[in-house]
Structure formats: structure tokens, C-alpha cells
Amino acid sequence: MAAEEHKDFMQLLRQRRSIRRFEPRPIEPDKVTVLKEAVLRSPSSRNLCPWAFVFVDDKNVLAALSEAKPHGATFLKEAALGIVVCGDESVSDVWIEDCSIASFVAQCAALSLGLGSCWIQIRRRQRSDGTPSEVYIRDVLGLPENWHVESIIAVGYPAEQPKPIPQDHLKNEHVYDNHWGHAHTRRER
Ligand SMILES: Cc1cc2nc3c(=O)[nH]c(=O)nc-3n(C[C@H](O)[C@H](O)[C@H](O)COP(=O)(O)O)c2cc1C
């Protein structure tokens, strides 16, 4: 594959940052339809697709979901959309991986549509009173008992523009060539 064919995706990835402040305007229905297509095109182990996605644009429900944990979720009430990524462990032992990939696919698709997004971690998180965030969300959305919640992806038109990470800030020391400890040397583009 020619390097040029990576260009569009890499251009987007180089600009990508988490967005936690959103404009109050809604997302066009066509774009929401594309986001729904995107999550369903995610890869999953053995193609088991152990997931369900609840697309929430009701302001009252978004406000309720924003209280799923004390920190790192409050901005959801200002988002136009929350994608609640749910997984069924009885379908696949690697539902966490599958749901994580689908979550990030949603974020990449949002970026490609000119939207901003931020991952809100739900799995293994709790409310202040000790209730698991997932149990609270199960109640808010009416999820069946066997379903877990991996994440909520907050999506909307960005009202902030965090600076892209410069190339020379990338932690190249986390990448090795061929053997552990062999520093990777970056080729110029
Ligand atoms: C698995 C995962 C969980 C995250 N959970 C939260 C969260 O609960 N709340 C939040 O505000 N950001 C969350 N984030 C966003 C990270 O804080 C963010 O990606 C990181 O600080 C790097 O910043 P950047 O995305 O702008 O490059 C999460 C990201 C990942 C990948």
C-alpha cells in the first residue's frame, strides 16, 4: 500500500485530542447515522459482536448519565450525544477488547465528521456512594442484567481546540524494534 493511502487517516490522527467542551448545537441526523454505521463496522474477536450501543441525545438522560461517576463525566450533560457502549460477557470472553475498539472507532468516525469526542470510562468505576457506575447506568437506561457498560463516548461540535501533540513530544521510548530495549529510530516522513 502506498504511503499516500495512509494520509487522510494520519492527518486526522495527528490532530486528534479529547474534547470535553461542546457547542450547544445538535449533530445532524445524517452524521449520527454514519456514527451508527461506524460502530457496527468495528472488528470483534471471532466476529461475535458482543456489544450494544445506546445512542442518547435526550438532554435529561444525558444529565442523568453525567452523574454516573463523580469525576471525568460531568461534561456529558453539555454533549449533543452520548454513545453508551455495552458488552455481554456471556457472548465473548474478550468483550472488553471488542467494546474498547468499537469505542475508539466511534471516536475516529466522529473526528472524521468534524465532531469532537471524549471517552468516559465506566467499567470498574463507582459513584461516590460506592455504587458501581455500571449499576447506576443499568437503572437509568433499563439495561438487562447480563450487560456490562464499557464506556460512554461523549460527542458534539467542539467548543475548545486543544493543541495537537507535536511530533517531538511522542514517547518514542515506548516503541522498540525487533527486541525489547532496542530503541526505535523514526524515519522522517
Ligand atoms: C480507556 C480510557 C478511559 C478514559 N476515561 C476518561 C474519563 O473517564 N474521563 C475523561 O475526561 N477522559 C477520559 N479519557 C481520555 C483521556 O484522559 C485522554 O485520552 C488522555 O488524557 C490523552 O489526551 P488526548 O486524548 O487529548 O490525547 C479516557 C481515555 C481512555 C483511552
Q: What angle do CA 9, 43, 27 make, to 5 degrees?
A: 60
Note whether residue 34 is domain-resident. yes
Encoded amino acid at 121, one letter = Q
State pTM to two decimals.
0.95
Distance CA 49, CA 2 (A): 31
**pLDDT at 157 > cutoff 70:** yes
User: What tens digit of pLDDT does each residue of 117-148 get?
Assistant: 999 999 999 999 999 999 999 999 999 999 99
Note whether residue 173 is domain-resident. no
> Number of structural domains, the chain?
1
Task: Please report which residue ranges of the chain form alpha helices under DSSP H.
Answer: 7-15, 29-40, 59-65, 95-112, 133-141
Note whether residue 186 is domain-resident. no
CB 68 within 8 A of CB 125: yes
> Which one of 75, 83, 119 would you pick to mutate in the ligand 1 pocket, going by the greatest count of ligand atoms within 8 A of its CB?
119
Note whether residue 146 is domain-resident. yes
Note whether residue 61 is domain-resident. yes
Spacing, Cα 50 to ligand 1 middle (Å): 23
Q: The domain spanning residue 46 has which CATH number?
A: 3.40.109.10
Q: By residue range, what is the domain housing residue 57?
A: 19-160
